[in-house]
């Protein structure tokens, strides 16, 4: 089939769960013999050879940053990317059997909806998250949040085949008035399905890996580590990643005099993150908002328990069986996070054993291969509709 994937970020130029999903999806589909075009934002210097095996990458101009100074997504970038998608699909839409786009940042979805009646391609939408009215208002203010909510609802009412990655967001999508069917894709894990137990004994190391944006709450790890070290002074933390919160994190580490105990190396390769997960005590994801939480599965593959935080917008808790493959902290407050980290430390080798057992039981269900089977079936149905 001729498939057009649409997302304004491309891994590894931008790093995140959705970025890795689309990179893995594009390469797997190409390897299966599909003709894949990837529409994205230009995230590299002119003349750079962007090599995604078997995939034609179309970079829409101009090159723009994603975030404002306070770490929010730029509206102008989303509008310009949507306009670029509309221009491309207006001319080339008939070259595709299916257009498969992320819902966010919405204007690319609307562009595909506008072009579809002319070119009659199937439309498949990934809803990684569905935001509440309250969160929209918090994110963009009263007026901006109201507009954002309306745009999201409008996108849900476009005729489509919808994919969600959690029960939380599938339920919300139905509530905002989806026009179409929903399939839940539980698998984004692209690693090997055989468990790979980490090194024993484990280092007293807490691992974070993700974008440094306000929603990830990476800075909460500083007071949490301080409090945990009062009982376990050997504990250390490493926070991989980059983003607008990075300098705030660096300043917090310095102010707490945790230099040497709290390392902020920035963006690193996947092998280095995997090595840390295989050596560390636990993975901590203090996010208030997650559409999936793939790092939980990646940690479990190494027998490493996860600490996540309960919250109405956090779907990663669906991947943690409390006390089996990790701990669900009541909040991101220092006392709760520190208590969860210490709980993992006290669980020791037995908790790592049950974590590895959890991965063995769930690996096939959570594998990207399982999701690809559902995606391919939807493509065939969508192309005929």
147-156: per-residue pLDDT in tens? 999 999 999 9
pTM, whole model, 2 decimals? 0.91
161, pLDDT greater than 70: yes
345-357: per-residue pLDDT in tens? 999 999 999 999 9
For 261, counting Cβ atoms within 10 Å of its Cβ (0-12 exposed, 13-18 middle, 19+ buried), the class is middle
Structural contact between residues 265 and 240, judged by C-beta atoms closer than 8 angstroms:
yes
- Residue 385 has a pLDDT of 61
- What average pLDDT score do residues 327-343 get? 98
64, pLDDT greater than 90: no
Residues in the chain: 385
- Residue 355 has a pLDDT of 98
H or E segment and range at residue 229 = helix 221-231
Closest CA to 368 of 33, 101, 36, 24: 24
Structural contact between residues 377 and 212, judged by C-beta atoms closer than 8 angstroms:
no
Using CA atoms, how far apart are residues 286 and 294, in angstroms rounded to an integer? 14
How far is CA 154 from each of CA 73, 113, 196, 222, 228, rounded to the nearest angstrom? 20, 11, 44, 40, 46
224-238: per-residue pLDDT in tens? 999 999 999 999 999
362, pLDDT greater than 90: yes
Can you tell me which residue has the tokens 């980490």?
198
Using CA atoms, how far apart are residues 28 and 85, in angstroms rounded to an integer? 23
241-273: per-residue pLDDT in tens? 998 999 999 999 999 999 899 999 999 999 999
Enumerate domains of the chain plus CATH numbers. 2-188+367-384 (3.40.50.2000), 205-362 (3.40.50.2000)
- Residue 62 has a pLDDT of 82
- Residue 32 has a pLDDT of 92
* 3-class secondary structure, 10: coil
Quote the percentage of the chain above a pLDDT of 90.
88
For residues 381 and 309, the model is more confident at 309
Provide the token pair at 84: 């670029």
Q: How far is CA 376 from the centre of its chain?
A: 21
In sign, the C-alpha dihedral spanning 60, 66, 68, 72 is positive
pLDDT band at 384 (very low <50, low <70, confident <90, very high): low
């Amino acid at each position: 089939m001729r498939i057009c994937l649409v997302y304004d970020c491309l891994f590894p130029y931008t790093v995140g769960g959705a970025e890795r999903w689309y990179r893995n999806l594009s390469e797997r589909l190409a390897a299966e013999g599909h003709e894949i075009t990837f529409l994205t934002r230009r995230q590299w210097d002119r003349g750079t050879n962007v090599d995604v095996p078997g995939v034609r990458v179309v970079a829409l101009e101009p090159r723009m940053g994603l975030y404002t100074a306070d770490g929010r997504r730029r509206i102008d970038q989303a509008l310009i990317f949507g306009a670029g998608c509309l221009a491309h699909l207006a001319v080339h839409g008939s070259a595709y059997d299916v257009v498969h786009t992320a819902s966010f940042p919405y204007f690319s979805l609307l562009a595909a909806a506008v072009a579809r009646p002319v070119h009659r391609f199937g439309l498949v939408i990934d809803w990684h998250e569905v935001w509440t009215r309250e969160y929209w208002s918090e994110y963009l203010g009263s007026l901006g949040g109201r507009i954002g909510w309306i745009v999201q609802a409008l996108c849900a009412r476009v005729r489509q085949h919808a994919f969600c990655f959690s029960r939380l967001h599938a339920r919300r999508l139905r509530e905002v008035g989806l026009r179409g069917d929903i399939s839940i894709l539980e698998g984004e894990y692209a690693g090997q399905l055989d468990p790979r137990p980490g090194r024993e004994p484990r280092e007293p190391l807490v691992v974070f890996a993700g974008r440094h944006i306000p929603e990830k709450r990476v800075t909460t790890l500083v007071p949490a580590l301080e409090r945990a070290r009062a009982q376990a002074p050997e504990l250390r933390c490493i926070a991989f990643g980059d983003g607008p919160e990075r300098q705030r994190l660096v300043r917090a580490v310095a102010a707490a005099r945790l230099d040497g105990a709290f390392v902020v190396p920035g963006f690193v390769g996947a092998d280095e993150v995997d090595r840390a997960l295989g050596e560390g005590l636990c993975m901590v994801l203090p996010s208030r908002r997650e559409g999936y939480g793939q790092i939980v599965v990646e940690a479990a593959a190494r027998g490493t328990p996860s600490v996540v935080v309960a919250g109405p917008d956090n779907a990663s808790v669906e991947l943690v069986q409390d006390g089996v493959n990790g701990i669900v902290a009541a909040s991101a407050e220092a006392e709760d996070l520190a208590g969860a980290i210490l709980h993992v430390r006290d669980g020791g080798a037995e908790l790592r054993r049950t974590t590895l057992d959890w991965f063995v039981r769930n690996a096939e269900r959570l594998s990207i291969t399982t999701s690809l089977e559902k995606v391919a079936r939807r493509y065939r149905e969508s192309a005929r509709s």
